[in-house]
A and B are shown apart, each in its own frame.
Chain A
Amino acid sequence: MIKWWKILAALLIFYTLVWGMLGSVPRLNILHETIRNVYYHVPIWFAMLFLMGYSVVHAVKYLSGNNFTSDIISDQAAQTGLFFAVPGLLTGSMWAKFTWGTWWTFQDPKLNGVAIAVLIYLAYFILRSSIDDELKRARISAVYNIFAFVMMFVFIMILPRLTDSLHPGNGGNPAFGKYDLDSNMRLVFYPAVIGWVLLSLWILDIKKRMALLAHIQNEN
């Protein structure tokens, strides 16, 4: 009835929810037990990045094949991705408050980059909703999608690495280099990433099928 990868998503996340609390973590100053947020905050962002990648792949697919399904998938993936940015931002803000001492700082390139990336994708939805002609909307938004993905990648993954940042994995440090040393954490972190990516695909699957149904009904 339910596809195997959906069950796998639920099992993997369930395992990381329980073992993320019980497993042993390195004892670090400032972070203390909040290092466990790595299991929850980071995979959410991985899922968001994955969905945006999924979205841009289908945008390119639309441009090369003019298949309307690709446009719908691209739109729905970007929507779901942006949805995942919300808990990502909120949990990051919460974590920052209790480790860096502030909810948000505009001095930090990673945080600024994420804020800009979210705004770029908000513009994508405004662009979509402002064009009535379906073919035009699909083509223009697919082109903008490619631009948005490249800009997001620059703002989140490249620019923060060029300067200093409070956020780990930036300012010349390889991401997770610190945590990778701890094999106990890896046992939870990697399943968490796979689990949340699969769960985001599940939500996308439901949204996509809903949009396709609505599309078919509009045509009839």
Chain B
Amino acid sequence: MKIKLSLILFSLLIPFLSNAQELEPEMADVFRNDGKIYVVISVISIIFLCLIGYLVYLDIKLRKLEKRN
């Protein structure tokens, strides 16, 4: 009975053991995939978010001016 239990426990470990041998060291590969297009997308996104932020800022500032009048 004891041997059976330890066998089952060992068999649960097998996937982890085999994985550890096959995997390469983990690196931040996502941003280097597909010809680094993700870098371009992140740059465009930053520029666009800055522009929208500026528009929101202008909008709020204008509202304050309108209230004063």
Contact = CB atoms under 8 A, between A and B. Distances in A.
A21 to B, nearest CB: 5
Contacts of B41: 17-18, 21-22
Given A2-B56, A21-B40, A203-B55, A210 B45 contact: no
Interface in A16-42: 17-18, 21-22
A44 to B, nearest CB: 14
B60 A206 contact: no
A122 interface: no
Interface stretch (A6-14, A88-96, A126-134, A150-158): A6-14
Contacts of B8: none
A18 B37 contact: no
A210 B62 contact: yes
A119 to B, nearest CB: 28
A209 B44 contact: no
Contact of B48 (A2, A17, A206, A213): A17
Contacts of A2: 56, 59-60
Given A14-B48, A22-B41, A216 B59 contact: no
Interface string B52-69: 100110111010011001
B43 to A, nearest CB: 10
A206 B59 contact: yes
A203 B41 CA distance: 24
A39 B66 CA distance: 36
Contacts of B62: 206, 209-210, 213
B55 A202 contact: yes
B62 to A, nearest CB: 5
Contacts of A17: 41, 44-45, 48
B55 A206 contact: yes
B58 A216 contact: no
A1 B60 contact: yes
Given A18-B45, A21-B41, A10 B58 contact: no
17 contacts: A6-B55, A6-B59, A14-B45, A14-B48, A14-B49, A17-B41, A17-B45, A17-B48, A21-B37, A21-B40, A22-B37, A202-B55, A209-B62, A209-B66, A210-B62, A213-B65, A217-B69
